[in-house]
Structure 1
Amino acid sequence: MTLLDHLVIAPVVIPAIIAPLTLMVMRRRRHVGVALSLAGCVAMLVVALALFGIAQDDAIRAYPLGGWPAPFGIVLVLDRLSAGMLVLAAVLALVVMLHAVVTAVDRKGWHFHPLFQFQLLGLNGAFLTGDLFNLFVFFEVLLIASYGLMLHGQGAARLKAGVAYVVVNIVGSALFLIALGLLYGLTGTLNMADLGQRIAALGAADQGLIRLAGLLLLAVFALKAAVVPLHLWLPRTYAATAPVVAALFAIMTKVGVYAMIRVVPLIFGDAAGAAAWVPAPWLLPAAVLTAIIGFVGVLAARAMREQAAFAILGSTGTLLLAVSCWTQATTAAALFYLVHATLAGAALFLVADVTLRRRGQYGDAIVPSPRFAGQQATGLLFLAATIAAVGLPPLSGFVAKLFILQTSVTAEPWALIWATVLGTTLIGVVGFARSGSTLFWKAADDADPIAGADRSRAELIAPATLLALLALLTLGAGWATAQAEATAAQIYAPDRYAAAVLTEATR
C-alpha cells in the first residue's frame, strides 16, 4: 500500500491521538489543549476533503487493518457515501468547536475537548467501518462520549435527561448485540459485504430468523435516529444540554439514517429472499408520524432549544420519507436533504445559544422581553435559520424538498409523501413565525433594554458560517445533486461493494 492508501485510517487515528493529548495538558496548559483540539478538527477536515477528492474516481477502496483479509479481519471502506459523511462531520465539528471556544462553553468542564474528540472518533469510525460488529463498537464510543458532553456544564435538568438518555441507549445496545448474535450464528460473519452474499445463500428454514435479526437491527438504527415511537428521548435530551453540544448532536440522528442506507441495500436487498427490504412495511408510516410530531412540536415549543430539537425530529421524518421508498432516485434526494438538515439543525441551536446569552434572565424562552444588544443581527440569523429548517426559498431546504417531491412522484405512496412534506412545511412556517415575532419583533411593555448583555460579535460567526454553507449548497445545487446521484448509484450496486471489500482487502 502507498502512503495515500493509508490516508483512509486517518479520520480514526487523528481524534484517537488528539483526545488523550488534550486530556493530559488541559489542566496545566489549557491554551495548549484548546489549540490541539482545534488543530485536530482542522486536520480532520483537510483529510476528509482529501478522501472526498479521492472518492471522485468512483472506486470503492478497502483498508484491511493489520493486513488481515476480509471477511476475517477488520476492514475500513472508503466510497462516496463514507467520504461525504466524513466531510459533513468534519465541517460541523470545526464550526461547533470554534463557537465553543469563542463563547467559553468549553471552560465549564475540563473534559470537553477530550470528549469532543472521542465523539468524532466514534462518528468517523461508524462512517468508515465495513463490518457490523465494529459499527456497534464505534456506536458505543460516540455514545459514551455523548453522555459526558450532554452533562457538560452540569445542572439538574441535564442530569435527569442524561439518565433517560443513557438508559434508552443501553437498551438499544443490548438489542444491537442480540441482532449481531443472530446474524453471526446464522451466517458465521459480520462483515457487511460477506453478509450480503451469505444471507442470499441461506435456505428457507433460516428466513424467519434472518427477518427477525434484520428487524432488530433496523429497530436499533431507528432508535438512534429517534424515529416514532422511539423518539421520546430526543426532545428532552437536546433541549436540556448546552446548545453548542446539541449543535454537534444534530448529526447523531443522521448516523442512524446513514446506517439504514448503508445496511439495507447491501445486506437486505433484492437477493436476501424473504428478508429483502425488511423495513419497507413500517418505515414509511413511522417517517410520516415522525415528521408530523416533529413540526407540531415546533409549533407548540416554549423555548428555542426545544423548538430546535423538534425541528431535528421533523427533519429526520422528512429524510426518512425519501429513504423509505428504497429507490436510487429517492435515496439521492435523501442524501442531499441529509446534508442540508444537519447544517440547518445545528444553525438553529447556535442561534438559540446566541439569543439566550443576550437576553439575560429571559434566556431562550419564547416570551416577549425587553430589547437586547444585537437583537437585529440575531433576529436576522434566526430568520435565515428557520427559512432553512422549514425548506423555504431561497436556501437549500427548498431545493432539497423539491428533490424529494420530484423523485418520489413515481413511488406508490407519493400522495402521502407529498401531503406530509407540504403539510409539515406549513406547520413549521407557522411555528417559527410565532416564535420569531415573539422573540425579536415584540418588546415587553414599559421595560428598559436588558442591561449587561453586551456580547462580542464573534459569537455570531459560527451560526453565520453554517448559514453561508447552506447558501453555498443552494448555489451549488447542481453539483451537489450530481454527487448525491453518483453516491446513490454506488449504494444500489452491492456487487461492486462486495467485490471491492472481499478482493481488494486481500491484497
Structure 2
Amino acid sequence: MNHWLTAPILIPLLGGILQIFIGYAPLSLRRTLAMTTTVLLLAASVVLLVLASDGSYRVYAFGNWEPPFGIVLVLDRLSALMVLMTAILAFFCHLYSMNKADESSRQFHALFLFELMGLNIAFLTGDLFNLFVAFEVLLIASYGLMMQGHGTERTIPSLHYVVLNLAGSALFLISVGMLYSVTGTLNMADLAAKIPQVSAEDLPMVQAGGLMLLVVFGLKAAVLPLSFWLPKAYGNATAPVAALFAVMTKVGFYAIVRVFTLVFGAQAGALAGLGLDWLFPMALATLAMGVIGAVGARSLRTLITWQVIISVGTLLAAVALGTEAGTSAALFYMLNTTWVVGGLFLVVDLVSGQRGSASDKIVTAPRMYNRTLLSVLFLLGAVAAVGLPPLSGFFAKVLILQATTPGVEMAWLWGTLIIGSFFTLVAYSRAGSIVFWRNVDGHVEKPGKLTLSLGVAAGGLIAMAVVIVLLAGPISAYVDATAAQLFDTGAYLEILDTTAVKGGA
C-alpha cells in the first residue's frame, strides 16, 4: 500500500492537535507551525497529483482489512485534483488569516487544519459511511470557524447553517442505512457492483435512498431550494473563512459526481441516471437565482456570495448532461470559480478596510489609498468570474457550451448561461464603478493597512485565473482524462480484488 494516500489526512490532523496543545504559546509560533503544516499539505497534494496522473487507482486499506469490509482510501485523478485545489486555496487563505483574523481565538489554526482534514477525507474515501464521517468532521470545524471574529451579526446565520446541516446529516445517515439494508455494503465499489443486481421488490428502497443522498449532496452544494442559507452565512464570516468556504459547495458537487457516476451510472441497470432528470432543471434554476441575487446585491461581499451560487448552478448543469465532455468542462470551470471566488472574498475585505463606515457597501465613499491595486484585482476577479476573455472563466464556459448536444437541453443551457453571464457582468460593472470611481473628496482616516502578505494572498488567488490560461493545455488534458476515468467504472470495481489492495502502489 502507498502511504502517501494518508498524508493529506495525517498532516492537518497532527498539525491541528499540536495547535491545541500550544494554544497559549506566542502567536508567532502558532502561525509559523500553522503555515508549515499548510505548506507540507500542499507538497503532499502535488505528490498525489503526480501519482494519479498515470491513470491507475491506488488503494490504502486501514488495518489491512480488505474491501468491502474495511475502510479504504482511493486515489484517482479526481480525488487528487480536489485535494490539490483545496490545498492551494487553503495556503492563500491561511496566509491572509495571519493579519489579525486569527487573533480572535487561540484555536483558529486548529479549526482551520481540522477543516482541511475533513475535506481531504471526503475527497479520498472509498466508503459511503466514511464520507458521512468526513462531512461531520469538516462541518464541526466549520461551525467553529464561522463563529470566529467579533460582533453578533454572524450568530443567526451561523445558527441556520448549523441546523440545516444537522438535518442534512440525519438525512444522510438514514439514506445510507436504507442502502445498507438492501445491499449489505457501503463500499462505493461494492455498491456499484451490487446495485445492478437488486431485485425488483427492493428497487424502491434503493431508489429512495439514492434520491435522499441527492438531496443531502444538494444541500451541501447549495442547490435551489436548499441554498438560501448560504448568502448570509458566507457573507458574515471573516474573509479568510469565507474564502476557504468557496470549496465547501464543491464537496457536495464532488459527492454528486462520484456517487451518481459510479454507483448510479450507466451500469446501474434500472437505476442508471438516477436523479439527473431533476438535477438539470434545478441547476439552471440555481444559476438563475444566483444571477438575480447578484444584480440586487447591495454590498460587494453579498455579490460574491451570490457568485458562489451561480457557480454551483453552472457546475451541476454541466454534470447533469451525463457526458464525459460535460463533466470535463465542469471540472475545468470548478478550478476557476473556486480560486477566483476565494480571491474575491479577500479583495473585498481589503476594500472594506479602506472605506471607513461605508465598508463594502455599494455606495459612494472617500477615495481609497490603494485604489489602483485593489480595483485591478477586483477587475481581474470579476472578468474571470463572469467568463469574459482572455481569462480562465471564458474558456471554462466555452467548454461547457461545447459539451451540449443540439436539442432542448442545449437551448436551455445556452440561454440561461449566456443571459445569466450578461446580467452578472452588469452587476459587477455597477458595483465596481460605484465603489472605485464614484468617490467623494478626501480619504478615510486610519484605513486598513495593505501589507505584503495580504496582497500576496489576495493577488495570488486572483492570479490563478491567469495561471489556468497559461496551463490551459495540460489542465484540459488532465480533466479530460479525469472524466474518462470516472465513466470507466469497470476499472474502479477492480479495487475489490484483494491483489489490487495488497499491490497498492
TM-score by length of 2: 0.97
Question: Does the 8 Å contact 2:72/2:125 carry over to 1?
Answer: yes
2:447 to 453, 466, 488: 453
Question: Does the 8 Å contact 1:290/1:316 carry over to 2?
Answer: yes
The CA distance in 2 between the partners of 1:92 and 1:298, in whole Å, is 23
Matched with 2:122 is 126
Change (3 A) 1:333 1:501: farther
The CA distance in 2 between the partners of 1:92 and 1:219, in whole Å, is 27
2:102 to 106, 125, 135: 106
Aligned residues: 501
Q: Which is further off, 298-307 or 452-461? A: 452-461
The CA distance in 2 between the partners of 1:42 and 1:26, in whole Å, is 20
Matched with 1:51 is 48
For structure 2, the 5+ residue unaligned runs are none
SS of the residue corresponding to residue 204 of structure 1 reads coil
Which ranges of 4 or more aligned residues in structure 1 deviate by more than 6 Å? none
Change (3 A) 1:410 1:73: farther
Question: Does the 8 Å contact 1:132/1:192 carry over to 2?
Answer: yes
1:75 maps onto 2:72 in alignment: yes
SS of the residue corresponding to residue 53 of structure 2 reads helix
1:234 maps onto 2:230 in alignment: yes
1:443 maps onto 2:439 in alignment: yes
1:496 maps onto 2:496 in alignment: no
1:314 to 291, 310, 316: 310
1:396 to 388, 392, 408: 392
Question: Does the 8 Å contact 2:196/2:270 carry over to 1?
Answer: no
SS of the residue corresponding to residue 76 of structure 1 reads strand
Q: CA deviation at 1:501?
A: 4.3
The CA distance in 2 between the partners of 1:27 and 1:419, in whole Å, is 56
The CA distance in 1 between the partners of 2:299 and 2:493, in whole Å, is 48
Deviation readout 1:379-436 (Å, 9 max, x if unpaired): 1111111111111111100000000001113565111010011011001000000000
For structure 1, the 5+ residue unaligned runs are none
Q: CA deviation at 1:506?
A: 4.8
1:250 to 240, 243, 246: 246
Deviation readout 1:218-255 (Å, 9 max, x if unpaired): 11000000000100110110001112110000000011
2:87 to 82, 86, 90: 90
Letter in 2 for 1:401: K
Question: Does the 8 Å contact 1:21/1:33 carry over to 2?
Answer: no
Question: Does the 8 Å contact 1:77/1:501 carry over to 2?
Answer: no
TM-score by length of 1: 0.97
2:203 to 179, 203, 207: 207
2:466 to 465, 471, 485: 471
SS of the residue corresponding to residue 250 of structure 1 reads helix
How many percent of aligned residue pairs carry the same amino acid?
Answer: 43
Change (3 A) 1:486 1:411: farther
Letter in 2 for 1:344: V
The CA distance in 2 between the partners of 1:197 and 1:257, in whole Å, is 23
1:360 maps onto 2:331 in alignment: no
Q: Which is further off, 70-79 or 205-214? A: 205-214
Letter in 1 for 2:480: E
The CA distance in 1 between the partners of 2:311 and 2:442, in whole Å, is 38
SS of the residue corresponding to residue 364 of structure 1 reads coil
1:282 maps onto 2:308 in alignment: no
The CA distance in 1 between the partners of 2:448 and 2:188, in whole Å, is 54
SS of the residue corresponding to residue 364 of structure 2 reads coil
Question: Does the 8 Å contact 1:207/1:273 carry over to 2?
Answer: no
Question: Does the 8 Å contact 2:350/2:448 carry over to 1?
Answer: no
1:30 to 11, 14, 27: 27
Question: Does the 8 Å contact 1:147/1:166 carry over to 2?
Answer: yes
Q: CA deviation at 1:271?
A: 2.4
SS of the residue corresponding to residue 277 of structure 2 reads helix
The RMSD of aligned alpha carbons is 1.1
Change (3 A) 1:411 1:479: farther
Question: Does the 8 Å contact 2:222/2:249 carry over to 1?
Answer: yes
Change (3 A) 1:452 1:190: same
The CA distance in 2 between the partners of 1:474 and 1:108, in whole Å, is 38
Q: CA deviation at 1:155?
A: 2.1
Letter in 1 for 2:474: W
Deviation readout 1:262-321 (Å, 9 max, x if unpaired): 011110012222221111111111111111111111111111111110000001101111
SS of the residue corresponding to residue 321 of structure 2 reads coil
